[in-house]
Each structure stands twice: as structure tokens, then as C-alpha cells.
């Protein structure tokens, strides 16, 4: 259950999509003065060394964020996300990659708060070390984020961005995501929730977006990025997706512009494509 280490995948195509959209959402939240909370149910280690064995094993970042850095034709909407990566790598060489908490932290303001859940002991220790000096602004909890999140909903400010991105190593994660979201929406229906999922051959992966659409919600957006054709043997992740509940009205237009660019830069074969659909009042 605790075998997953995101360091193997740091900076890959799925991270590019997830963290680019996360930055877009946080920048939208920052347009209002009222404080908000950022809650991450599976926070990981926070920041990842791309020089270490975990990341070097498959070097997935080389076909992910590594393909974007240094390009001259990057859409302006991607630049804030790429700046976060560059700011971690002052030498100019890509050696560190910011996980979701370290993408969020530089964008949070003085009155905003982070609550970060991580069950893996080694990753939790690394995450705690990263945020040791943050005080009450960022609290790291060694708890199951699926259930621990309930203690913070609704947040005192009545504004929150919640990221739910389990590894889906166990098949029950798909059901647990749906159950957790039902409870989150019961407690705090107006929050913005982001669900990440891998695009796999499995039926659970393929059915998840439609099941999410059937939740008691009126505003949602679904975006996915395939970087290659599904493999003949049915193994491996050929893409990933995000399902956003209560998205900002600006997000569909941003993604409509950026997703074709990501397909062209990150695509590995002629199976590269994207999906974008939304229902907004």
C-alpha cells in the first residue's frame, strides 16, 4: 500500500498537465483578496531530485518538462509554471522538480494556508523538512488524505482548492475517490476540487470521468492528454487526465489554447491527442 514513490515519475507528462493547471487555478484564486486554503490529499515528498536513482531510472522528466524548458515558442499561459521549475534550478541545469506542494507554496499569500497529507513515512519526512519553517501556514499530516480532509472542510475562509491525486496502485482508489468527493461536496459544495487520474487500459481508469460527472455538481471541466497510443500489451500509462469541479470560467479558453501545444511538444507518436470538455452555468 505504501510502495508508491512519485520520484520515479517526477516531471513527466502527467506532472506537466497537473502542475500547469494547478498554477492556473491558484493564480485565479489570487485575483480575489479573500484568503483561501490549499489542501493536498497525496502530497508526496514536495520536491524531487532528478539526479537521484529514483528519477534517473526511467528519466521520465526528459520527455516531460525537459521538452518544454528552453523552447522559444511557449504559450504565455505556461510560463508561470515553467518559472517555478526554473526558480528551483538556478544553475540552468534541470536537477530539481517541484511537486504539487512546492508548485503551490510560492503562489500562496501571507493569509493563505496549506494542509498536506502524506502516508509514506520517507516522503512525509522529506515533505516535513521542506516546510519546517512554514509554521501554521503549512501543516504536514501523516494521515490518509481521503478521510483526513474532512477535518478541514469547510475551511474558515470558505475558499479552498483541493487536489486529490492518489497513485491508483490499488483498484479501490477509484471507488474511494468518488466516495471521498461525495463527502467533500456534502460538507463544502462550493470548493474547487481537482482529481488527477492516469489513462490506463483498465476499465476503472476509463470509466472514472463519467462517474465523476454523475456526482451532485453543476460545474465541471475534464481535460486529458495522451502522449502515445495505448500499448498492445495493455500495460503502462499512455496519458493522464484532470477533472475539475467548480472550475474558474477562464480555464476552458486557456486549455483550448495550450493543449494543442502540449500535444505537439510532448507527443511520442501519432496517438498523441487531448480531450477537453466542460459544463459550466
Annotated catalytic residues are: 165
- The answer to whether 223 and 242 are in contact (CB under 8 A) is yes
Angle at Cα 49 formed by Cα 43 and Cα 50, nearest 5°?
115
Which residue from 248, 230, 177 is spatially nearest to 27, judged by alpha carbons?
Answer: 248
Helix (H, G, I), strand (E, B) or coil at 212: helix
111 burial (CB, 10 Å; 0-12 / 13-18 / 19+) is exposed
Q: How far, rounded to the nearest angstrom, does the alpha carbon of residue 159 sit from its chain's CA centroid?
A: 18
Outline where DSSP puts E strands in 154-262: 160-164, 192-199, 220-226, 239-245
In the DSSP assignment, the letter for residue 144 is -
Which residue from 14, 6, 1, 80 is spatially nearest to 46, judged by alpha carbons?
Answer: 6
- The answer to whether 40 and 117 are in contact (CB under 8 A) is yes
Which residue from 212, 39, 237, 66 is spatially nearest to 138, judged by alpha carbons?
Answer: 39
Outline where DSSP puts E strands in 27-79: 37-40, 47-49
Helix (H, G, I), strand (E, B) or coil at 64: coil
| DSSP state letters, 6-23 | GGGTTTSHHHHHHHHHHH
Calpha distance 175→177 (Å, rounded): 5
Q: Residue 35: how many CB atoms within 10 A of its CB?
A: 17
Amino acid at each position: 500500500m505504501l510502495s508508491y514513490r512519485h520520484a520515479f515519475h517526477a516531471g513527466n507528462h502527467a506532472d506537466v498537465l497537473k502542475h500547469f493547471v494547478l498554477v492556473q487555478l491558484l493564480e485565479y484564486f489570487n485575483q480575489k483578496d479573500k484568503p483561501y486554503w490549499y489542501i493536498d490529499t497525496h502530497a508526496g515528498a514536495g520536491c524531487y531530485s532528478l539526479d537521484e536513482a529514483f528519477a534517473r531510472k526511467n528519466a521520465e522528466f526528459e520527455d516531460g518538462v525537459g521538452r518544454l524548458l528552453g523552447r522559444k515558442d511557449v504559450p504565455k499561459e505556461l510560463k508561470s509554471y515553467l518559472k517555478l521549475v526554473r526558480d528551483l534550478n538556478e544553475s540552468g541545469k534541470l536537477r530539481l522538480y517541484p511537486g504539487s506542494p512546492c508548485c503551490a507554496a510560492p503562489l500562496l499569500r501571507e493569509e493563505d494556508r496549506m494542509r498536506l497529507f502524506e502516508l509514506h513515512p520517507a516522503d512525509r519526512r522529506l515533505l516535513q523538512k521542506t516546510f519546517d519553517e512554514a509554521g501554521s501556514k503549512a501543516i504536514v499530516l501523516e494521515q490518509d488524505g481521503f478521510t483526513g480532509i474532512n477535518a478541514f472542510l469547510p475551511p474558515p475562509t470558505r475558499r479552498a482548492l483541493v487536489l486529490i491525486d492518489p497513485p491508483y496502485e490499488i483498484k479501490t482508489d477509484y471507488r474511494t475517490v468518488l466516495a471521498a468527493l461525495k463527502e467533500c461536496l456534502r460538507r463544502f459544495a462550493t470548493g474547487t476540487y481537482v482529481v488527477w487520474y492516469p489513462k490506463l487500459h483498465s476499465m476503472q481508469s476509463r470509466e472514472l470521468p463519467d462517474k465523476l460527472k454523475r456526482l451532485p455538481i453543476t460545474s465541471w471541466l475534464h481535460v486529458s492528454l495522451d502522449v502515445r497510443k495505448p500499448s498492445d500489451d495493455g500495460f503502462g500509462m499512455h496519458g493522464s487526465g484532470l477533472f475539475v469541479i467548480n472550475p474558474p470560467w477562464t480555464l476552458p479558453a486557456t486549455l483550448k489554447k495550450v493543449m494543442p501545444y502540449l500535444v505537439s511538444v510532448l507527443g511520442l507518436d501519432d496517438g498523441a491527442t487531448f480531450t477537453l470538455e466542460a459544463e459550466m452555468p
